[in-house]
Amino acid sequence: MSKPTALITGASSGIGYELAKVFAEKDHDLIVVARRQAPLEALAEQYDGRVNVHPLVLDLSKARGPQKLYDATAELGLQVDTLVNNAGAAYQGRFADMSRTQIHNLLALNMRCLTDTTHAFLPDMLARGSGKILNVASVVGFQAIPGMALYSASKAFVLSFSESLAEELRCEGIRVSALCPGLTRTDMVTDLGTDQYPGSELIMGDARSVALEGYQALHNGETIRVPGLLNQLAVNWAEFQPRWIKRTLAGIAGRATFAARNG
Ligand SMILES: NC(=O)c1ccc[n+]([C@@H]2O[C@H](COP(=O)([O-])OP(=O)(O)OC[C@H]3O[C@@H](n4cnc5c(N)ncnc54)[C@H](OP(=O)(O)O)[C@@H]3O)[C@@H](O)[C@H]2O)c1
């Protein structure tokens, strides 16, 4: 019997790389996508003989990236049973200090690419009456985060979009889950310097555990999964607070962080 195929965007490092390994261990063939070829080839080598791994090197922030991805999988004659929208970009700092290029890249990758990729692969899933979609959101999608204004807004989009889709598709055989990690040790966090903040080690999750939780949530039919007890407590606490309290506290923390970073 042929194995199910999982397509994972942003599989060259971090959470996406670990998600690819989890899906391979759970006996899925893989289509792995990113801009860097070497880590994708390494995945293919690692699982050679056990599952089929198809590396696709693409810049998904480009307007035609998602369509090129769909066309490439069609050319390979592959059916995508599970779509994992993981590729993402982050920015930490004042919104006013972002360049237009940074703004457009973040929006393109976190929102447009995820939307277009889902829209490209969904009709085939609907025609088959089966399919799974895992969207990587974030705990910051649950509330406003001054100092990460655009990133948190983009993840709020992912969370809301995933919840709506999960209900829209519930009776059509398609599962949609949003994975909402908290701070997780990956290149993204190192690049932002978030791992240097006092106490960050205490709340830092590891990409392997986050990936395992994403896989479980999708296969258990959970619409939202927040990995880690501390993250769950924070999200649940925040759910019952008035928006102004959450916003004010986040503002105080954001301004203090900004002041500490800038001496
Ligand atoms: N780390 C955290 O604390 C955290 C917390 C919550 C949510 N998340 C989310 O988790 C997801 C994965 O992030 P990560 O932390 O694992 O960071 P990461 O290690 O930097 O991974 C980002 C992945 O996205 C790919 N990517 C970036 N730009 C791309 C582009 N233009 N086209 C195609 N692929 C691109 C990267 O590959 P290439 O560079 O090879 O293209 C890489 O594989 C993101 O959606 C992020 O927002 C992370």
With beta carbons less than 8 A apart as the criterion, state whether 121 and 80 touch: yes
**Quick check: pTM over 0.95?**
yes
Number of domains in the chain: 1
Q: What angle do CA 129, 131, 135 make, to 5 degrees?
A: 145
Q: To test ligand 1's pocket by mutation, which of 7, 8, 13 has the most ligand atoms within 8 angstroms of CB?
A: 13
With beta carbons less than 8 A apart as the criterion, state whether 37 and 55 touch: yes
pLDDT of 210-236, one tens digit each?
999 999 999 999 999 999 999 999 999
Cα-to-centroid distance, 245 and ligand 1 (Å):
31
What's the mean pLDDT when you consider all of the chain?
Answer: 95
Burial-class residue 242 by CB neighbours within 10 Å (0-12, 13-18, 19+): exposed
Cα-to-centroid distance, 240 and ligand 1 (Å):
30
Q: What CATH code is carried by the domain that includes residue 35?
A: 3.40.50.720
Q: For 195, what's the count of Cα atoms within 13 Å in the CB-facing half-sphere?
A: 11
Which whole number is the average pLDDT over 48-64? 96
- E strand or H helix at 82, and its extent? strand 82-85
| Distance of alpha carbon 43 from alpha carbon 17, whole angstroms | 8
Cα-to-centroid distance, 187 and ligand 1 (Å):
8
pLDDT of 144-189, one tens digit each?
999 999 999 999 999 999 999 999 999 999 999 999 999 999 999 9
Of the residues 17, 47, 91, 151, only one is catalytic, namely 151
The 8 Å CB, 24+ separation contacts for 34-42 are: 34/9, 34/10, 34/58, 34/87, 35/59, 36/12, 38/12, 39/11, 39/12, 39/13, 40/11, 40/12
Please list every protein residue whose CB sits less than 6 Å from any atom of ligand 1.
10-16, 34-36, 59-61, 86-90, 109, 136, 138, 181, 183-184, 186-189
| Distance of alpha carbon 15 from alpha carbon 200, whole angstroms | 18
Burial-class residue 230 by CB neighbours within 10 Å (0-12, 13-18, 19+): middle
**Segments forming the whole domain that contains residue 127:** 5-261
Which whole number is the average pLDDT over 105-120? 98
Ligand 1 atom with the smallest distance to the CA of 108 is 31
Ligand 1 atom with the smallest distance to the CA of 191 is 20
Q: What angle do CA 232, 118, 12 make, to 5 degrees?
A: 70
User: From atom 43 of ligand 1, which residue's Cα is the shortest distance away?
Assistant: 10
| Distance of alpha carbon 90 from alpha carbon 173, whole angstroms | 33
pLDDT of 27-47, one tens digit each?
999 999 999 999 999 999 999
Q: What is the dihedral of CA 242, 134, 153, 246, to 10 degrees?
A: 20
Is 151 one of the catalytic residues? yes
Cα-to-centroid distance, 158 and ligand 1 (Å):
14
Strand partners, 232: none
